[in-house]
Structure 1
């Protein structure tokens, strides 16, 4: 973890520009091609949901801009991010939020995520988790959405990325996944989200 000198930070002016708005969050929705990724998941008999969480977190950790967070007016660069995801058991229509570290490989992570989710009895996150290191994940596997909104915390320092998946669908021989990403404009612009999506698509294609 590293505290950034705001006066010499290259994003200082952009930060101050978006600091003036009431809610600096912005959201982008798109379809990502998971054709090859889907085959990988099925052949290894692991969860598609947990595996997409791994892929998204792994790629986001490779981009420094996404690891900047705002805390008490200061800019902090974190060493890593970890996922915190909504999950639902088979017996009730109530979700729980599960958080865990990213494992060294996708298969190990998927198995550990499944194990922790099954064992976890509380609905909401552990209080000892560093919120600044989290990425929030959710999934609406019943709907192939074209747009989605998230809950809003009216706090300009809220810099936790929010990623949502929808129901994947077939389109001309490809399997596409509705994918939403929400970030804080004080820290990130469209170019950063574009870079992230390009890297994520490359990961999904080449795994």
Structure 2
């Protein structure tokens, strides 16, 4: 993690403009073409939700703008971001939020997900949620949505991006996934979300390497 010198930071004016707004968040929803990823997941019989989380996190970590946070004193840039995501209990239809540290090994990631899902009895691990190097992720696989928003405590500075996706649809030999990014405008603009979209769609030529 690096501390950013705000005075010499190219984004200083934008940061100062947005940081104290009552609602500095914006949300973009769009369809992702995940056809190659969908085919890879089906061919290799991977768990869809966890494979998507792992792949999206690999892509998020390639876009620098998503790594900035503010701790009330300093702007910092994290080296690596980690997923914190919802897991549904189908029996009682309640979810828990689990946090798994990023790894460059997909099978290890799956093991860590299983262990955390089993061992965490509470809805949320409050200690892990204190970390700022997270990306919040959720899935709504029953609805192909066109809009979504996320709850946020406005009394504190929360710059953790929220990512959500919905029910995929098949159109003209393509698999399209409704995808949403909610971000703090002090750090992230529309161009950065566009860059993430490009990385996600263009990096699918590299799936064998990513999933090992």
Give your verdict on TM over 0.5.
yes
> Does the 8 A contact of 1:24 with 1:156 survive in 2?
no
Indicate yes or no: 2:18 matched with 1:18.
Answer: yes
Give the Cα separation in 2 of the matches to 1:43 and 1:183.
33
Tell me how many residue pairs correspond in the alignment: 207
Question: Mapping of 1:182-201 within 5 angstroms?
Answer: 182-201=182-201
Q: Secondary structure at the match of 2:70?
A: strand
- Runs of 4+ with >6 A deviation: none
Shift of 1:112: 3.3
Give the Cα separation in 2 of the matches to 1:45 and 1:112.
19
Give the Cα separation in 1 of the matches to 2:168 and 2:111.
22
* 1:150 to 1:128, Cα distance in 2 relative to 1, 3 A: closer
* 1:5 to 1:147, Cα distance in 2 relative to 1, 3 A: same
Shift of 1:91: 1.4
Query: In structure 1, what is the equivalent of residue 145 of structure 2?
Result: 145
> Does the 8 A contact of 2:59 with 2:199 survive in 1?
yes
* 1:126 to 1:153, Cα distance in 2 relative to 1, 3 A: closer
Question: Mapping of 1:98-117 within 5 angstroms?
Answer: 98-117=98-117
Q: Secondary structure at the match of 2:186?
A: coil
Give the Cα separation in 2 of the matches to 1:97 and 1:144.
22
Give the Cα separation in 1 of the matches to 2:130 and 2:60.
17
TM-score by length of 2: 0.90
Indicate yes or no: 2:56 matched with 1:56.
Answer: yes
Shift of 1:147: 0.7
Query: In structure 2, what is the equivalent of residue 39 of structure 1?
Result: 39
> Where does the alignment leave 5 or more consecutive residues of structure 2 unmatched?
208-212
Q: Secondary structure at the match of 1:164?
A: strand
Q: Secondary structure at the match of 1:132?
A: coil
Give the Cα separation in 2 of the matches to 1:147 and 1:129.
26
CA root-mean-square deviation: 1.7
> Does the 8 A contact of 1:51 with 1:107 survive in 2?
no
Deviations along 1:130-169, one digit per CA (max 9) or x if unpaired, are: 5201100111111000111111221462110100010011
> Does the 8 A contact of 2:99 with 2:128 survive in 1?
no
Shift of 1:19: 2.9
> Does the 8 A contact of 1:55 with 1:203 survive in 2?
no
TM-score by length of 1: 0.93
